[in-house]
Amino acid sequence: MIKIRKLKSLLSLRQKLFIKYLLSRDTGEYDNVNKKRWKIIVALAADYGNLGDVAITYAQTKFLKMQFPSYEIIEFPISKTFTSVKSLKKICTPQDIITIVGGGNTGDMYDDIEYCRQFIIQQFPQNRIISFPQTVDFSDTESGRKALQRAIKVYSKHENLILIAREKASFERYQKYFKMNKSMLLPDIVLNLNEALFKYKKQGITLCLRSDDEKKMSKSQEGLLIKSLKQKYEIKYYDTHINRDNLSIKERETELNKIWTAFKQSKVVITDRLHGMIFCAITKTPCVVIDNSNCKISGVYNAWLKDVEYIKMMSIYDIDELQKNTDFLIDIHIEDYPDVDLSMEFQQLINA
């Protein structure tokens, strides 16, 4: 037992995951799927507690079902990537389409998810693969440069892989480094949703703030922010990460409806999470957003949301500017503003 533990400690995460694949068996869980029917796979479907990624999975699946009713849409959870891919491959034909869930994890910060993406690309060399809108962020470090070269090697070998960026900087990285693959610039797929249909009485301010490596605000700045706001407003808290794993599809939809309702019941949301801002856009909730460390929030805002008057973007922390934006948004009549409608932007994706 001690020798096994020592061996495990010497293996990289990628090696451990690949061994899991080698030891896996055909579970037969997709045997009831009609092999003759055309299929679209939603690979890396988020079944963990990041509601931003869960919303992407939900929106991507809904988009595909609406646009391609003749296809069977199959969610393939990221937790089953290495244990059930043999079962999935058994029912797939070269005519089936593989889509990979969008998000902000193409890079070395979330290397486990990036490896899952590369693994799926390698497992389906004959299929058209479409990677939905992503942020691309490989760090300018030795490990980041190595990770980038690994990705280039894997992506470039697939002759029918389409890479979609959700903001300009990522699109330029795709074009610069992944020249063998077709690339596109489209909105985050969650921006294809409209969840502003039900009216609620709005009260107070909801804070939706991150606590990970992407956070740009310091702890002291966050403390000053909360102290300042509490002097004038009722404060509530709701994060887009709920710290749960292995969520069923029903549980995921329940959690999404909870946070969307919480936002719609708020006069203003203040956030430094990308999907905090996007959830405000689709629920028509006034929002002050502070950029994160890799600027993916400002990238998405400048590409798609800069004309939305009820969303105020701040590239740096400034308590006076933040208070000013909050005071302005707290009294607006949201009914006077149009809904966000980016549906025409996705025509390029439908054609793909």
30 lies in the same domain as 176: yes
Tens-digit pLDDT profile for residues 10-30: 688 899 998 999 999 988 899
- So what's the pLDDT on residue 178? 98
Report the length, in residues, of the chain.
352
Categorize the per-residue pLDDT at 176 as very low, low, confident or very high, splitting at 50, 70 and 90: very high
- So what's the pLDDT on residue 201? 86
23 lies in the same domain as 121: yes
- DSSP label at residue 7: H
173 lies in the same domain as 296: no
For residue 78, the Cα-to-chain-centroid distance in whole angstroms is 13
Q: How far apart (Å, rounded) are the C-alpha atoms in residues 122 and 114?
A: 12
Instruction: Assess if residue 227 is contained within a domain.
Output: yes
221 lies in the same domain as 309: yes
Is 214 or 208 the better-scoring residue by pLDDT?
A: 208
The average pLDDT across 41-70 equals: 97
Overall domain count for the chain? 2
Instruction: Assess if residue 341 is contained within a domain.
Output: no
CATH code for position 167 = 3.40.50
| pTM recorded for the entire structure | 0.94
219 lies in the same domain as 277: yes
Query: Could you tell me where the DSSP H helices lie in 161-273?
Result: 168-177, 219-230, 249-264
The average pLDDT across 40-62 equals: 97
Tens-digit pLDDT profile for residues 191-205: 999 998 777 888 999
24 lies in the same domain as 134: yes
Instruction: Assess if residue 114 is contained within a domain.
Output: yes
Instruction: Assess if residue 169 is contained within a domain.
Output: yes
209 lies in the same domain as 178: no
Burial class of 130 by CB neighbour count within 10 A (0 to 12, 13 to 18, 19+): buried
- So what's the pLDDT on residue 39? 97
Q: How far apart (Å, rounded) are the C-alpha atoms in residues 188 and 211?
A: 22
177 lies in the same domain as 82: yes
Percentage of the chain beyond pLDDT 70 is 97
Instruction: Assess if residue 94 is contained within a domain.
Output: yes
Instruction: Assess if residue 197 is contained within a domain.
Output: no
Q: Name the residue among 183, 206, 181 with its Cα closest to residue 280.
A: 206
What are the backbone angles phi and psi of residue 77, rounded to the nearest 5°?
-60, 145
Question: Per the structure block, which two tokens stand in for 153?
Answer: 């090697």
Is 313 or 35 the better-scoring residue by pLDDT?
A: 313
Instruction: Assess if residue 232 is contained within a domain.
Output: yes
The average pLDDT across 265-285 equals: 96
Of 116, 150, 185, the residue at which a domain comes to its end is 185
- So what's the pLDDT on residue 221? 86
The average pLDDT across 306-332 equals: 92
- Residue 279 · residue 54 · CB < 8 Å: no
| Residue 149: CB atoms within 10 Å | 12
159 lies in the same domain as 34: yes
165 lies in the same domain as 270: no
Instruction: State which residues form the domain around 146.
Output: 12-185
Helix (H) or strand (E) run with residue 107 in it: strand 103-107
Question: Per the structure block, which two tokens stand in for 275?
Answer: 């999907």
Asked whether residue 50 carries a pLDDT value surpassing 70, the answer given is yes
Asked whether residue 335 carries a pLDDT value surpassing 70, the answer given is yes
50 lies in the same domain as 116: yes
66 lies in the same domain as 117: yes
Question: Per the structure block, which two tokens stand in for 134?
Answer: 């992503």
In terms of phi and psi (left: phi > 0; alpha: psi -120 to 50; beta: otherwise), the region of 317 is beta
Asked whether residue 6 carries a pLDDT value surpassing 70, the answer given is no
Instruction: Assess if residue 349 is contained within a domain.
Output: no
Q: Name the residue among 60, 155, 157, 149 with its Cα closest to residue 103.
A: 60
